[in-house]
Amino acid sequence: MKVIFVNRYFYPDQSATSQLLSDLAFHLASGAHEIHVVTSRQRYDDASSALPANEHVRGIKVSRVWTTRFGRGSLVGRAFDYLTFYASAFARLVLLVREGDVVIAKTDPPMLSVVAAMVTRLRGGKLINWLQDLFPEVAAAADLKWAKGVVGQMLTRLRDWSLRCAHQNVVVGEKMREILIARGIEPTKITVIPNWADGDAIRPVARTQNPLRSKWGLESKTVVGYSGNLGRVHEFGTLLAAMTALREDKDTLFLFIGAGKQRQMLETECKTRGITAVTFLPYQAREDLVWSLGVPDVHLVTLLPEMEGLVVPSKVYGIAAAGRPILNVGALDGEIAKLVEKHHCGFTVEPGDAKGLANAITRLAGDDVLRAKLGGNARKALEDDYEMRHALLKWRNLLDTVVQQ
């Protein structure tokens, strides 16, 4: 019996979906299962890269299929990359899947569950959908007109069909589960397994022991950081207004590590508003996350309220592993707000409340004891609920159940 993962990115790619898939696939490869991965030859941040078409990596058979390589620069080019991946992945899965094999389909590219459902029905395989977000609802919430009309409705019905075909659908939050139940998906076919962080690889590091603070010239600053995707689903208006209000504070610096659709806008706005205490850096290598996540004294998490239940920012688990307080800009009843409140590891500010966000930043910047307390609570939350070993155990148990069905 084989377990076959399908996702556009896999190790050595450093994107979030790739890292999570790699963690789980390598873990399962150390056991009794034969593990395959069907993926592309690209990297998330480099569409022109040409990873090997076929290779064995730490006990896993990796098939990297052909796709176009337009990259993330335009929606049309990205659509071609998606379509060619669907076609190539379908063909490879037809060759790989045999009766009883388990296919685990992630959500990059969107609608990948449909391809996986068609193959597993055709070949007698068993399907587990691993939903990192809900598409096309995310596109509709991002105000893309086509997603709100007939096309969006058709895609939603097709997506729902693929979820009903599955033996299980793994979602990353309770609100996402509620949305699927409202869509008519059987509750018994939905399992909540939050994303995770590796608490051994990422751990709390003191300011004086972090080489990046001196390398980046931040020894004397209180650093408010944002690490990860700067994409459409994130809310930055409130943060920009708070940064503007605090621009005369010479002791606090804002640090953005990552890339995405809104990065250029943020850089331009900071220049326009005269915000000089800000630094923008690219994504850091996974092996350096222990240092880069340890640089900020406080971490920011943002999400548009209309995205609640459709996306759960996975960066929160790395923040917790680093033992840093969380400043969440999002709905007060949202997934991250509930996590922050449950574990007393930070504060949530509603989008639009720039004054409240500025006050929270000032309060945390001026209180070392409070930061240490909230950061310690965040680390405990990771160890109790969101450490990688907890999630991997849940996945093993789920896989055993599906195999026996």
Residue 84 lies inside a defined structural domain of this protein: yes
Q: What is the pLDDT of residue 49?
A: 84
Q: What is the pLDDT of residue 402?
A: 96
Q: What is the pLDDT of residue 31?
A: 81
Residue 202 lies inside a defined structural domain of this protein: no
Q: What is the pLDDT of residue 75?
A: 78
> Which two three-digit tokens encode residue 172?
């990353």
Q: What is the pLDDT of residue 1?
A: 78
277 and 371 share a domain? yes
Q: 169 forms bridges with which residues in the sheet?
A: 129, 190
60 and 192 share a domain? yes
Q: What is the pLDDT of residue 405?
A: 86
Provide the residue range defining the domain that includes 302: 207-386
Q: What is the pLDDT of residue 394?
A: 98
Question: What is the identity of the amino acid at 55?
Answer: E
367 and 392 share a domain? no
Non-local CB neighbours of 99 within 8 Å, separated by 6+ positions: 123, 124, 125
40 and 162 share a domain? yes
176 and 310 share a domain? no
Instruction: Render pLDDT for 245-257 as a digit per residue (tens, 0 to 9).
Output: 999 998 999 999 9
Q: Which residues of the chain have pLDDT under 70?
A: none
Residue 33 lies inside a defined structural domain of this protein: yes
Dist CA 159 CA 280 (whole Å): 37
179 and 283 share a domain? no
Instruction: Render pLDDT for 239-298 as a digit per residue (tens, 0 to 9).
Output: 999 999 999 998 999 999 998 889 999 999 999 999 999 999 999 988 999 999 999 999
Non-local CB neighbours of 232 within 8 Å, separated by 6+ positions: 142, 261, 262
Q: Are 72 and 47 in contact (CB under 8 A)?
A: yes
Residue 201 lies inside a defined structural domain of this protein: no
111 and 237 share a domain? no
Residue 359 lies inside a defined structural domain of this protein: yes
102 and 188 share a domain? yes
DSSP at 384 = I
> Where is 346: in which H helix or E strand?
strand 346-349
160 and 249 share a domain? no
Residue 356: CATH number of its domain: 3.40.50.2000
159 and 78 share a domain? yes
Residue 119 lies inside a defined structural domain of this protein: yes
pTM, two decimals, is 0.94
293 and 313 share a domain? yes
Dist CA 337 CA 339 (whole Å): 5
> Number of structural domains, the chain?
2
Dist CA 236 CA 240 (whole Å): 6
Q: What is the pLDDT of residue 263?
A: 96
187 and 220 share a domain? no
